Structure 1
């Protein structure tokens, strides 16, 4: 199966290919409706055929966008800390920062549309027919389509996580934007304005990255990736603190940096999406909450700080 409409995007920032394929699927199912009403068992054969078509569609998409998926491969596979992998990590400082290409945005937007809009209509139709089968035995209508759903969700999630990891790697390329380095160089003796100044380069980088993500992804994908990126940055702070639990000299810097992270992600998303953004989208992600939990243990000594949690 080949992807038509290469390079063309719909108003949803997706490829027209999948809309065309699912229109054909719906038309085909409509043609078979008379048969399934007479012989409901035929639904299972149709479902298997639809599942095969969906797998072929996904395979065609991945083949079409292989070039933009290739840079994500290192982040899709389990890390193996052999000599070659360490050498590869060492070389990353010399490469250009990763920028999410428009084509990758088209692919992820398309996968999201498949999951949320196009596939549910097909599933609903087949499950409706399957409910008319008196006794289906161990086979359940929609089972094969559910397997495709699980596979599609896993791929979508893995690609997004790989993108986020690439963006996190960007922040570690220069010492001026390396979060752990910023905290480490800003002990309790540092005043808040100094820490804020140290964070300025990273804040600028994050803001520009979020702006670019907004230009590439449709709203739901954009929000999800931003929140994953926010969480990933929080993980850097969390791992730093967990490795130094007995040393509170970096707590003040951690409070300030986390507050700046929260403000940067929340304000940028709000500025770009406005009223479209839901309140839950602005809630700090899990890693940030865990950081706050650690910092709260030292809270009584920080009552005068606006970064007190």
Structure 2
């Protein structure tokens, strides 16, 4: 679900369209504007093209919005539901690009806006419409994952109730999404392996010494992994522990059952950041060895 807007570029005097604006030129429209999936530390001089960029403002954006240029049009796509900051930034960009090109803004609902009218777009209605999916997930006792700029956020019944109990559900959703995106922690990566005979599949994560790390509390295959697995199941989840404070002396302490490690991890050493994931505080080598020992005795 999403809302898409298109703005035609200026036409040249003798046919065709003017050159699309570059990342740098676009970033100058809005203070703090950036491209989150850019390969460069600074906005480049390359013109926008058909490749989709994820745009927004650092600390203000929760999901960002998609931006690309194709067939002489700037195309903006805002996912449903997005955060308040995502919408505010997208709308301001649309207003700026409309004013610069002199073109109207075409929405996929067939509405047409100029650079001033778009500033009154009722984005909160779209957020609320999207949040209805959370109610459906609650009724089915499901955990719903919504993608963010840096990481997905898992919503359960408790979080959903908190959103709709708020004076502004849209603002509460925005807050929940943003606070997970900007955590100063490493998001551990999911890895899947087959045994030698190809009969079993193991899931694995890695936790390193002295590194604040976001991990699933009780892992299950991500939707990306499920597409690869098909109907196959993950038989075991393993956590690999790495000690050593730099690349020269970093080495594997060992592997243990994922659930056993979490069961023996002191409660003051982690906190839930959403319905499924925890932020594990930095652990010393001594602490990791102690937990590793207890996990293997379990």
TM value normalised by structure 1: 0.23
Instruction: Tell which structure's C-alpha radius of gyration is larger.
Output: 1
Q: Larger strand proportion, structure 1 or 2?
A: 2
TM value normalised by structure 2: 0.24
